[in-house]
Amino acid sequence: MNADVRFWDRIAQKYAKSPIRDEDAYRQSLARTSTYLRAGDRVLELGCGTGTTAVELAPQVGEITASDLSPAMLAIGQSRAAEAGVGNIRFHQGDACSAPEGPFDVVMAHNLLHLLPDLQQVLELIAQRLPAGGVFISKTPCLGEARGSAKYWLFKTLIPLMRLIGKAPASPVEFLDIKTLEAGIKAAGFELVETGNYPVSTPGRYIVARRL
């Protein structure tokens, strides 16, 4: 865990300056997420990074708790919120298992689930932070969907090498497929209400699920 904190802290400034890889896909998933948010909602974002999404969505809700492993990422997020004049974001440092208990109306986790070695445990903890009818929204690179292709083996080869030279997080990247990911979310006590691939390639699986 400490190695992951050091990795994200080290790349925080570079990460903050990098453009969003697929702006159209990001905007599409952000627009869909907005339709599930209401004024007054209490929202938890896990793996908030440098706060881009939290700052974008904060004006639509009552309060966002933006949680991340990296203090350096959170410091950038705090600066961004201040620059945007957004005052309803509360930043919290910690991993997904130690996020505030809430309860929350909405929990979001974007580009995070494939980085968790204890995915099912985290999904169950997310469910515990939501009442019946509460909403979980996520987007996850499902690298396992490319299984058997040249692209898959390229990922399988390059990611461990990147970890060895400090260019990827210390924790292994999970090669999730859509079926496994959605089954895990259902097993944690959710029903799926919307899915999509933004982007289609990889794909980035967008899921909205409601707590039963």
Calculate the average pLDDT of the chain.
94
- Pick from 60-74, 135-149, 186-200: least confident: 135-149
Q: What is d(CA 158, CA 76) in angstroms, rounded to the nearest whole number?
A: 29
Question: pLDDT tens for residues 96-147?
Answer: 999 999 899 999 999 999 999 899 999 999 999 999 999 999 999 999 998 8
Sign of the four-CA dihedral 124, 168, 23, 145:
negative
Q: How many residues does the chain have?
A: 212
Give counts: helices (H), strands (E), the chain. Answer: 7, 7
* pTM for this entry: 0.94
pLDDT band at 196 (very low <50, low <70, confident <90, very high): very high
Q: How many CA atoms lie within 13 A of 60 on its CB side?
A: 15
* pLDDT at residue 154 tops 90: no
Domains identified in the chain and CATH numbers: 2-211 (3.40.50.150)
Please name which of 38, 42, 13 lies closest in space to residue 129, comparing C-alpha atoms.
Answer: 42
Question: pLDDT tens for residues 34-48?
Answer: 999 999 999 999 999
* pLDDT at residue 1 tops 70: no
For the chain, percent of residues with pLDDT exceeding 90: 83
The reported pLDDT for the residue numbered 149 is 83
The reported pLDDT for the residue numbered 155 is 79
The reported pLDDT for the residue numbered 70 is 96
Q: 152 versus 17: which is more confidently predicted?
A: 17
